[in-house]
């Protein structure tokens, strides 16, 4: 995840405007809207593939157009540049990440099996990261921190951390929830990034289980290691 917290929401409204363009009431209007939605989705899918394969800097609008099997004119109906397309893709991923942060269950003492809840949430994070890993990797490696797109990454870190902070505050009142949230975000995201880029040869299942144990220990103290089933 590469600010202030309004960037993701601003782009979300722009994405929705693009998806809803051509509003009307006739059957012809509805057919055009449906066709426009399919074209937009095709461009987004092609963009994700091209950026993952070529990287942000080497990718060209021409590559996206060819992958989407459409024309340059059609591309520019939806996006002003490759930067605009990349930002739309990045914001879509950022919105999913923030929604996942909001889904972190109650971890306060007495709320149930907090380790299981944390483990299941981390499994969802891992699945989301694995699905969008190529896009996230491109985003991270593009080195565009000073650009508008880079600010989307900063916004994501801020929003994700704030959502975790609000949930961690009840889990461990004696620690600084803001610092803990930032530490957990860094640990979760970097672990997934290094596994996604194959810089660390770690099994994803083992990674998730270890992250859950480390985070749970940080909040409540260590829990006994799971006992292997006898052969």
Residues in the chain where the model's pLDDT stays below 50: 2-5, 18-19, 21-25, 28, 227, 230-231
89, 135, 177, 178 from 132: Cα distances, Å: 10, 5, 28, 27
CA dist 98 and 153 (Å) reads 12
Rounded to two decimals, the pTM is 0.73
Each residue's pLDDT tens digit, 28-67: 455 557 778 889 999 999 999 999 899 888 999 999 999 9
Name which of 145, 164, 5, 51 is nearest 100 in CA terms.
Answer: 164
Question: Residue 31: what pLDDT?
Answer: 57
Question: Residue 25: what pLDDT?
Answer: 46
Question: Residue 199: what pLDDT?
Answer: 87
Tokens of 41: 């989705």
- The per-residue DSSP string of 36-69 comes to HHHHHHHHHHHHHHHHHHHHHHH--HHHHHHHHT
Which alpha helices (H) appear in the chain, and where do they start and end? 7-19, 27-58, 61-68, 72-78, 82-102, 114-141, 148-171, 177-196, 204-220
Question: Residue 133: what pLDDT?
Answer: 84
Domain extent listing, the chain: 7-220
Q: Architecture of domain 7-220 in CATH?
A: Orthogonal Bundle (1.10)
Question: Residue 61: what pLDDT?
Answer: 96
């Amino acid at each position: 995840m590469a600010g202030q917290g309004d960037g993701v929401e601003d782009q979300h409204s722009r994405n929705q405007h693009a998806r809803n363009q051509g509003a009307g009431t006739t059957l012809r209007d509805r057919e055009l809207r449906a066709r426009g939605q399919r074209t937009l989705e095709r461009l987004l899918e092609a963009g994700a593939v091209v950026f993952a394969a070529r990287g942000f800097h080497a990718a060209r609008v021409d590559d996206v157009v060819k992958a989407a099997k459409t024309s340059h004119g059609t591309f520019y109906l939806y996006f002003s540049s490759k930067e605009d397309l990349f930002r739309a893709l990045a914001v879509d991923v950022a919105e999913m990440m923030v929604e996942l942060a909001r889904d972190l269950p109650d971890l306060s003492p007495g709320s149930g099996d907090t380790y299981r809840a944390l483990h299941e949430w981390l499994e969802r994070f891992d699945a989301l990261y694995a699905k969008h890993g190529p896009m996230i990797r491109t985003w991270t490696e593009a080195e565009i921190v000073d650009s508008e797109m880079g600010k989307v990454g900063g916004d994501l870190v801020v929003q994700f951390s704030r959502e975790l902070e609000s949930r961690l505050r009840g889990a461990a009142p004696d620690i600084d929830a803001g610092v803990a949230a930032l530490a957990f975000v860094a640990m979760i995201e970097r672990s997934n990034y290094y596994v996604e880029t194959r810089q660390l040869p770690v099994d994803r299942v083992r990674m998730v289980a270890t992250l859950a144990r480390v985070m749970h220990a940080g909040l409540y103290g260590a829990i006994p290691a799971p006992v292997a089933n006898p052969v």
